[in-house]
Chain A
Amino acid sequence: MSMTIASSVDEVLAAMAAGAQPIAGGTDLVVGARAGKAPLPEVLVAVDRVPELATVEVGDTSTRIGSGVTHAQLMEDVAVVHRFTAIADAAALVGSPATRNVGTLGGNVMNGSPAMDTGAPLVVLGAEAELTTTNGSRRVSMNELWVGPGRTSAAADEFCTALVIPNPPAASGSAYVRLEYRRAMEIAVVGAAAAVTLDGDSIASVRVALTAVAPTILEVAGLDALVGTSYHEPEMELVATAAGEQATPISDLRASDAYRRHTIGVMARRAVEAAVRRAQGEQISVPVNRALGIGAAS
């Protein structure tokens, strides 16, 4: 096998046009290869030394998070923590410090696991993936990108250069929570992200997306009924019910489908509650799981 170490996006794209597959921190690719899941690709291009991929750029209307930004960067980046807090919540829960130091947002997105922690936050925040080849770029919504467990709609030569997210209006907040059995090196049993914008005492908009309860990250439909309402009972019950009804979880060694279907409602409701509190201006530190005692006890 061979590997090129790229120092620019152009080098990455040229290598991929010639058939190379990208590797960043290797936390999925190398771990999978050593576990016998899939051999390492014959031709690799290392993308972790491309400075232009490792930046967060706040623009007038949207923010561009480079695909090479690591989870360790995401959980501490001021712009991400303030504007896109759910992403920081998620990044802070991934793996261990060692995983977060080398694992990247682009890697998490393109690996396409339905249990990925950054996926539900990206969906509720309205992110688009920027896919680039030597011929130019296109943007796709997250739901267009993920087509099944571990599968994306990106062509083999398309490289995810960035995630582009609209800047949220005032009085907005977001949060990601997950059910977990331990506090490190964990994969979500189920998880939920919420993004909320308030208009005075009522909800102006709300989006909720779910982790590990469907073949891809699943956005909860039918929450328009919440718009214009206050955020107390029975609105919160509607969130939990809708999440539980729309989830199509599997049973595996981590949890039964029935358990996932019940707990996803609890998580969805807690995500909305935390997002509302942040939208009201309350400072809930990252990650919500630790700040509010959700998930595994210490």
Chain B
Amino acid sequence: MSLVNLRVNGVTYPVDIEMGRNLSGVLRSEVGLTGTKEGCDDCECGACMVLLDGQPINSCSYLAAQAADREITTVEGLANGDEMHPLQRNILAAGGVQCGFCTPGMLMSADALLDRNPDPSDEEIKIGLSGNLCRCTGYARIIQAVRATAVELNVSP
């Protein structure tokens, strides 16, 4: 066991873990933030997507110890207090959430995309969300929510 400092959503969590533990497991069990989901555990589905220094990564297949002392953002870090992030509000309004299991990962990929590219085309949204699988919605409403958020953020920065 080793003591590792994980900085998640701006808060430092010292965790005592085996060095081979994956980040999603430590976030859910030790840190206690269960918004990040474990789907395939094989780097395919994107339910475990978190941001590491602002870039999306599959936390199921990333060693927690390698994330030490870097900035980790999970879905819990999107909202501003009780106020939902525009992506969260828009994905609900568009009907882009059904079972909801993919939603945290989708939101993190979308957030990183809009950070890098504030006005993405539909094709760029699809590329930005690739690696995030949804088995319910057919994707159209998720893409619609990202587009709506881009418009909203560009009108009122």
| A interface residues (Cβ-Cβ under 8 A, vs B) | 1-3, 5, 23, 25-27, 30-31, 33-35, 40, 44, 46, 48, 72, 95-99, 101-102, 183-185, 298
Known A-B contacts A98-B57, A101-B57; the reply to A183 vs B43 at CB < 8 A is: no
In-complex Cβ contact of A34 among B57, B61, B65, B130 (8 A): B61
Q: In B108-154, which residues have CB < 8 Å from any A CB? A: 109, 112-113, 123, 126-128, 130-132
B18 — which chain A residues lie within 8 A by C-beta? 1
**Contact status of A185 and B19, CB under 8 A, knowing A5-B65, A34-B42:** no
Contact assessment for A1 and B42 in the assembled complex, using a CB-CB cutoff below 8 Å: no
Secondary structure at chain B's binding surface: helix, strand, loop or mixed? mixed
Are B131 and A298 closer than 8 Å at their CB atoms? no
- Bound CA–CA A33/B21 (angstroms): 11
Given A5-B68, A98-B57, A102-B57, verify A185-B63 contact (CB < 8 Å).
no
* Alpha-carbon separation in the docked complex, A3 to B2 (Å): 10
Given contacts A26-B62, A31-B43, contact A99 B131 (CB under 8 A): yes
The residue that B61 contacts in the complex, of A26, A44, A184, A298, with Cβ under 8 A, is: A26
- Which residue of chain B lies nearest to A184 when distances are taken between CB atoms in the complex? B130
Given contacts A31-B42, A34-B22, A98-B58, contact A23 B131 (CB under 8 A): no
Query: Which residue of the partner chain, among A5, A26, A98, contacts B109 with CB atoms under 8 Å?
Result: A98
Asked if B123 and A298 make an inter-chain contact with CB atoms under 8 angstroms apart, the answer reads yes
What is the bound-complex CA distance between A259 and B60, given in angstroms? Answer: 35
Give chain A residues whose Cβ lies under 8 Å from the Cβ of B49: 98
Tell me the minimal C-beta distance from A157 to chain B in angstroms.
21
Instruction: Give chain B residues whose Cβ lies under 8 Å from the Cβ of A48.
Output: 66
Q: In B8-46, which residues have CB < 8 Å from any A CB? A: 18-20, 22, 41-44, 46
- Report Cα–Cα, A44/B20, bound state, in Å: 10
Known: A34-B61, A97-B128. A27 touches B43 (CB 8 A): yes
Task: Write out, one digit per residue, whether chain B residues 58-78 have a CB within 8 A of any chain A CB (1) or not (0).
Answer: 101111011010000000000
Q: Would you list the 8 A-B pairs with minimal beta carbon distance, nearest first?
A: A96-B131, A184-B130, A101-B55, A3-B19, A30-B61, A98-B56, A31-B61, A31-B43
